[in-house]
Amino acid sequence: MDGKDGRREIAPEVPHAMHLTAHSNAIGERVVRSIRTECLDHTIVINERHLHALLAEYVHYYNVDRPHRSLGLQSPLPRSPTRDGTVVRRPVLGGLHHVYAWAA
């Protein structure tokens, strides 16, 4: 279409996956709520560098060690199960959470 001044108007492109936007928003809000309730609400953040370190450690915990109900209590990046030895406890986020695993 041509506008009043003779320039051609460009219609905005609508993404094909528009129906997924609401679902993606819910997933993002759930992740942010998990970060707040499981990490940031229980720690005192000193400065930006400390915040980045906390979030990096939490992201690793969230993706590797934390059980997710939607995944059958598995983590998004599952570890190989080894059941030799004794069970050891590893503190995460300064002892805020603990990860239990079989020692090799």
Query: Which residues have C-beta within 8 Å of that of residue 55, sequence separation ≥ 6?
Result: 35, 39
Q: What is the pLDDT of residue 27?
A: 80
pLDDT band at 2 (very low <50, low <70, confident <90, very high): low
* 68-79 pLDDT per residue, tens: 777 777 778 877
Q: What is the pLDDT of residue 45?
A: 93
Please give the sequence-ordered ranges of beta strands (E in DSSP) within the chain, or none if there are none.
Answer: 87-92, 97-102
| Token couple for 31 | 């992740």
* 29-70 pLDDT per residue, tens: 888 999 999 999 999 999 999 999 999 999 988 888 888 777
Q: Is the dihedral of CA 58, 61, 62, 68 positive or negative?
A: negative
Helices (H), 1-104: 21-38, 48-60
pTM of the model: 0.62
| Token couple for 7 | 């320039």
Q: What is the mean pLDDT of the chain?
A: 79
Is a pLDDT exceeding 70 seen at residue 17? no
